[in-house]
Amino acid sequence: GAVVSQHPSRVICKSGTSVKIECRSLDFQATTMFWYRQFPKKSLMLMATSNEGSKATYEQGVEKDKFLINHASLTLSTLTVTSAHPEDSSFYICSAMGNNYEQYFGPGTRLTVT
């Protein structure tokens, strides 16, 4: 149980385009999901907390207009990187919080902006 998926696992996009990443909790409902960004061999940086049915809460320094988060259902949150630039290239990881307040992590999405 407690499986979280992400789609796509890898994406390459051109500079200036937008890309959407999906995070799904497959066998449980998650009112809260988290989005992280990770640089090579570095720790996870929390970008935002996503709550079903309400606006996401962004961490300091994260541009909410650039990283759009939508948590439309109890099993799906999406992160859209708008007008992507090469510096947005990174590994993006989501997690979903279960009823026991445990976080279950997705496998990550590798974004490359050319």
Partner 1 sequence: AQSVAQPEDQVNVAEGNPLTVKCTYSVSGNPYLFWYVQYPNRGLQFLLKYITGDNLVKGSYGFEAEFNKSQTSFHLKKPSALVSDSALYFCAVRDMEGSWGKLQFGAGTQVVVTP
Contact residues for partner 1, defined by CB under 8 A: 4, 6, 32, 34, 41-44, 46, 49, 51, 57, 91, 93, 95, 97, 101-108, 110
- Least Å distance, CB 93 to partner 1, is 5
Characterize the bridge pairing of strands 76-81 and 57-58: unpaired
Smallest CA-to-CA distance from 79 within 43, 108, 114, 42 is with 108
Phi, psi of 78 (to 5 degrees): -125, 145
- Least Å distance, CB 82 to partner 1, is 24
40, 103 in Cβ contact below 8 A? no
Burial class (CB in 10 A: 0-12, 13-18, 19+), 49: middle
Nearer to partner 1, 33 or 113 (CB): 33
Nearer to partner 1, 49 or 82 (CB): 49
Phi, psi of 87 (to 5 degrees): -70, -10
- Least Å distance, CB 56 to partner 1, is 11
Nearer to partner 1, 45 or 68 (CB): 45
Nearer to partner 1, 76 or 82 (CB): 76
- Least Å distance, CB 11 to partner 1, is 13
SS3 category, 108: coil
